[in-house]
Amino acid sequence: MTNQSKEGAFYQRDRGWHPPAYTPPYKTSVTRSPTKALISVDSTLSEIAGPVFNQNMLGELDNDMIMNFAQPGEMAIGQRIIVYGKVMDENGKPVPNTLVEVWQANAGGRYRHKKEGYLAPLDPNFGGCGRCITDEDGNYRFRTIKPGAYPWPNGVNDWRPAHIHFSIFGSGFGQRLITQMYFEGDPLIWKCPIVGAIPSKEAVECLIAPLDMNNTIPMDSRAYKFDIVLRGRRQTLFENRMEGL
């Protein structure tokens, strides 16, 4: 989770909760993993303090990925969904006024960037990124389309399950979390080498957003709930580096 002690320093992370940095089935971890022993250092003032965000920095459609890249009169193609939840600290307290950024593939499983190698078509009305700021109770909410799965050159026939990337800043740079959200019921989750690097089934399940029919918009959008816990023994898992950013 996220919190600071009375002295101001963040809780130490439980490294047993995170995947090992060196996990050969996830090939890029071999070159990314540390070659020397980790060194523990105290948090610096710049890590504990700031940044400060406010609603004035957002555009009108920043949290609406169905519309924020679309041409006039058009909208993104795909299954319309709402993703919402709460950003909390380890004590269950909300983390207000923090920036939540998201990015994802389109409904066909393709990202909009120059190095994309998958041949699925681009959606001319979908940019694949958005952002919002948590309210005073730590709540966030955005609208998008459900991303597609895609193959990736890790193994002979490895596929990434449908997922959305999250970046959350927290109340200090030392809290910043980058992670991924998966969707309830996707069979590819348990076949993914990245997910397979996580040693705890309970930890994996923290990354899977359940379908929430009570928050759907009838005849419009399904809803998925994804709560996020920053910095602590039960924090949401980091995407690929145990030490975070």
Q: If DSSP codes are grouped into helix, strand and coil, which group holds residue 225?
A: strand
Q: Is 182 a catalytic residue?
A: no
Q: Is 22 a catalytic residue?
A: no
48 falls in which pLDDT band (50, 70, 90)? Answer: confident
Q: Of the listed 143, 160, 176, 231, which one is catalytic?
A: 160
User: Is residue 91 domain-resident?
Assistant: yes
**Half-sphere exposure (Cβ direction) of 176: Cα atoms closer than 13 Å:** 16
User: Is residue 201 domain-resident?
Assistant: yes
Which of 92, 70, 93 lies closest to 80 in space, CA to CA?
70
Q: Is 26 a catalytic residue?
A: no
Q: Is 113 a catalytic residue?
A: no
Q: Of the listed 165, 222, 234, 241, which one is catalytic?
A: 165
Q: What is the pLDDT of residues 25-38, one digit of tens each?
A: 999 999 999 999 88
Give the Cα separation of 243 and 237 in Å (integer). 11
User: Is residue 23 domain-resident?
Assistant: no
- Based on the number of CB atoms within 10 Å of its own CB, is 83 exposed (0-12), middle (13-18) or buried (19 or more)? buried
Q: What is the pLDDT of residues 128-172, one digit of tens each?
A: 999 999 999 999 999 999 999 999 999 999 999 999 999 999 888
User: Is residue 163 domain-resident?
Assistant: yes
Domain span at 144: 28-229
Which of 188, 182, 216 lies closest to 80 in space, CA to CA?
216
pLDDT at 37: 87
pLDDT at 92: 83
Question: Bigger pLDDT: 174 or 57?
Answer: 57
User: Is residue 63 domain-resident?
Assistant: yes
Q: Of the listed 143, 163, 176, 231, which one is catalytic?
A: 163
- Based on the number of CB atoms within 10 Å of its own CB, is 201 exposed (0-12), middle (13-18) or buried (19 or more)? exposed
Give the Cα separation of 245 and 241 in Å (integer). 8
The number of folded domains in the chain is 1
Q: Of the listed 26, 150, 182, 224, which one is catalytic?
A: 150
Give the Cα separation of 60 and 39 in Å (integer). 44
User: Is residue 119 domain-resident?
Assistant: yes
Question: Bigger pLDDT: 181 or 172?
Answer: 181
Mean of all residue pLDDT scores within the chain: 88
Q: What is the pTM of this model?
A: 0.89
CATH number of the structural domain spanning residue 61:
2.60.130.10
User: Is residue 153 domain-resident?
Assistant: yes
Q: With a cut of 70, say whether residue 233 has pLDDT above it.
A: no
Residue 174's identity, in one-letter code, is G
Q: Of the listed 111, 140, 182, 224, which one is catalytic?
A: 111
Q: Is 163 a catalytic residue?
A: yes
- Based on the number of CB atoms within 10 Å of its own CB, is 112 exposed (0-12), middle (13-18) or buried (19 or more)? middle
Q: With a cut of 60, say whether residue 232 has pLDDT above it.
A: no
User: Is residue 241 domain-resident?
Assistant: no
